[in-house]
Structure 1
Amino acid sequence: MNRLETMKAFVTVAELGSFTKAAEKLATSNQLVSKYVSQFEAQLGVRLFNRTTRRVHLTQEGEQCLQHAIHILERVDDMQNHFGQIQNAPKGLLRISSPVSFSTLHLAPLIRDFKKQYPEVSINLELSDRKVDVIEEGFDVVLRIGHLKSSSLIAKKIASVRLVLCAAPSYLETYGAPTHPEELNPSHFLRYSYLDYAASENPLMKVLHASSQNYQSGLAANNGEILMAAAIAGEGYIFQPTFIVGEALKQGKLKTILNDFAPETMGLYAVYPHRKLLAPKLRVFIDFMSDYFGEPPYWDQY
């Protein structure tokens, strides 16, 4: 039995959490996938999955094996690509999911320039700030912002993302510039409702988390541009990425505050599934994005 086929079956089941879904993706039978996985377990001498009636879960040995198997399959793919097994020009439909504000502010020029270079690739872009499931929802690539946890997906960093606390000069003239997070007025916090403020030990994040938990007044929204407009009008202070507020900071409409308490820089990542053969359309898009925004990205040059 081909060891690469058994390894591929194992990785596919691990990614999808189901023998049935793996069989559908591999265009084979459920019984054959199960046979491949059992053979792979026999080859290694370890149990890779704990099976229930509804789902399969990786054992500790399975978690360790998954990373090795993915690496091996990727190296095989690289070898095949290097020796010309994939010669087709990039073409076809590329399905992308991306955060709303980042896309409206920065993604349109990138897609325009990408299309000029690769006219045979069509783009279906869906904007959403929720965490979409790349595999289940059929996306080729998803753009995500944050500190990503390890998973069976590939995550390539595209650009740095800084979060800053800022307010309008008129607000600071009225209420003064704070020197410590404890001096912030919770009722003036213009809160972004999708951000997990509790995920850090940073003093500023702790204060913002407390403000968001005891929210009595002010404004909360799931769109950073709405919050930025309110901050520019002097209605309060915001905690937003510089790709949203960078231009307002450059024009002096907003000023950063409590810079000494700024949290760790995050990243913009391209997240996509492990695949035996990475489609040329996806490979060139990821490579194109990697060099597009610069480092530091242009929105931080103010």
Structure 2
Amino acid sequence: MDKLDTMRAFLTVVQQGAFTKAADKLAVSPQLVSKYISALEKSLQTRLLHRTTRRLSLTQAGSDYYQRCLQVIADIDEMESRLTEHAQVVSGTLTISAPMSFGTLHLPHLLMDFQQRYPQIKLKITLTDIKVDIVDEGVDVAMRIGQLADSSYICKKVAPINIAIMASPDYLAARGLPKTPAELQHHHYLKYVYSDDAMLFSGFDNMRHTIDFNDNLIANNGELLVNTAILGGGIVIQPTFIAGKALAEGKLVRILQGYEPKPVGLYMVYANRQYLAPKVACFIEFVSQYYSTPPSWDQV
């Protein structure tokens, strides 16, 4: 039996003057309160209460123990209160990892809005398209894009990510509009270095192994590839969060829409679900509610 429970029961019995009143206060049965007191006296090998049918009174040992219990329980309650208050203070440095292009194009507004709500949180942002180990790198939250494999980390999807096949009107006028995925092998392909073409084109009907792309430009940044496509450099396959504005302005045209890769997701990845630091929990909750459906980059 927990010693603190028995001590709290003893204090309540003394303060209420009766087992039944103490039981009501503690929301337990009178029998359990009696059991607590008996267990406490047994462990101390000392009688603490005089019991009669009319009233309860403290023995001398019980009076001394009561005073000590008051101090002990008060100290414990104060300590727990301070720890709880500390856990609820939303402050400190929040370390975030995010993809390069998504970070440069879409994080500034989010981060500014977040800091307006939580001004005591300092933000440390690392932009990289390389998957980092969040524990080894000391990252509180990683924002990642893709179809995430099962892992020991917690993954929370916060927005859909659509992927488009695009080229500029000038490029299509000069090189022709491909009607089927197979025709892409005759075009200039602006390749993102981290993409897995077998996965990227898995939505194409039975074509995943037959396209021999002419990778005349390979880069590790989607914005560079999209901007090159705008200038007529070739066909690019990139998320609409990068290309949405160019598509809305007619600088790029979506092609082969029936064969576009399946949408992926924007996820927040973090190490533990329980005992999250308030700064991490607040950021996760904030981002979870930040993006509309469809997200802003698909509304331009």
Report the equivalent of 2:203: 202
1:88–1:118 CA distance, 2 compared to 1 (3 A): same
Deviations 1:25-49 (A, max 9, x none): xxxxxxxxxxxxxxxxxxxxxxxxx
Partner SS for 2:243 = helix
- TM-score with structure 1 length normalisation? 0.67
Report the equivalent of 1:150: 150
Say whether the 8 Å CA contact 2:185–2:211 is kept in structure 1: no
Output the CA distance in 1 between the equivalents of 2:228 and 2:264: 24
Q: What's the CA shift for 1:194?
A: 0.8
Q: What's the CA shift for 1:176?
A: 1.9
Output the CA distance in 2 between the equivalents of 1:279 and 1:173: 55
Report the equivalent of 2:251: 253
Report the equivalent of 1:291: 289
Say whether the 8 Å CA contact 1:157–1:267 is kept in structure 2: yes
Amino acid at match of 1:232: I
Between 200-209 and 90-99, report the one with greater CA deviation. Answer: 200-209
Say whether the 8 Å CA contact 1:91–1:281 is kept in structure 2: yes
Output the CA distance in 1 between the equivalents of 2:135 and 2:258: 40
Deviations 1:70-129 (A, max 9, x none): xxxxxxxxxxxxxx7875221111010000000000001100110010001110000110
Amino acid at match of 1:223: N
Q: What's the CA shift for 1:275?
A: 4.9
Partner SS for 2:246 = helix
Amino acid at match of 2:237: F
Amino acid at match of 1:174: A
Report the equivalent of 2:94: 94
Q: What's the CA shift for 1:187?
A: 5.0
1:186–1:119 CA distance, 2 compared to 1 (3 A): farther
Say whether the 8 Å CA contact 2:154–2:273 is kept in structure 1: no
Q: What's the CA shift for 1:202?
A: 2.3
Output the CA distance in 1 between the equivalents of 2:268 and 2:250: 32
Say whether the 8 Å CA contact 1:197–1:209 is kept in structure 2: no
Report the equivalent of 2:116: 116
Alignment of 1:53-202 (within 5 A): 88-199=88-199, 201-202=202-203
Return 5+ residue gaps in structure 2 as ranges.
1-83
Q: What's the CA shift for 1:186?
A: 4.8
Deviations 1:45-74 (A, max 9, x none): xxxxxxxxxxxxxxxxxxxxxxxxxxxxxx
1:253–1:219 CA distance, 2 compared to 1 (3 A): same
Q: What's the CA shift for 1:241?
A: 0.2
Output the CA distance in 2 between the equivalents of 1:291 and 1:190: 34
Deviations 1:147-173 (A, max 9, x none): 011111100011100110000010111
Amino acid at match of 2:241: F
1:221–1:186 CA distance, 2 compared to 1 (3 A): farther
Amino acid at match of 2:204: P
Partner SS for 2:88 = coil
Q: What's the CA shift for 1:207?
A: 5.3
Output the CA distance in 1 between the equivalents of 2:114 and 2:164: 30
- TM-score with structure 2 length normalisation? 0.68
Output the CA distance in 2 between the equivalents of 1:210 and 1:170: 23
Q: Who wins on radius of gyration, i.e. which is larger?
A: 2
1:146–1:182 CA distance, 2 compared to 1 (3 A): same
Say whether the 8 Å CA contact 2:188–2:233 is kept in structure 1: yes
Output the CA distance in 2 between the equivalents of 1:114 and 1:223: 26
Output the CA distance in 1 between the equivalents of 2:278 and 2:207: 44
Report the equivalent of 2:220: 222
Alignment counterpart, residue 237 of structure 1, candidates 217, 231, 235: 235
Report the equivalent of 2:263: 265
Amino acid at match of 1:244: I
Runs of 4+, deviation exceeding 4 Å: 84-87, 204-210
Say whether the 8 Å CA contact 2:225–2:236 is kept in structure 1: yes
Deviations 1:170-222 (A, max 9, x none): 0111122111111114550011111111126322795598445xx5x511100
Output the CA distance in 2 between the equivalents of 1:211 and 1:123: 44
Partner SS for 2:95 = strand
Report the equivalent of 1:32: none
1:165–1:134 CA distance, 2 compared to 1 (3 A): same
Output the CA distance in 2 between the equivalents of 1:87 and 1:273: 18
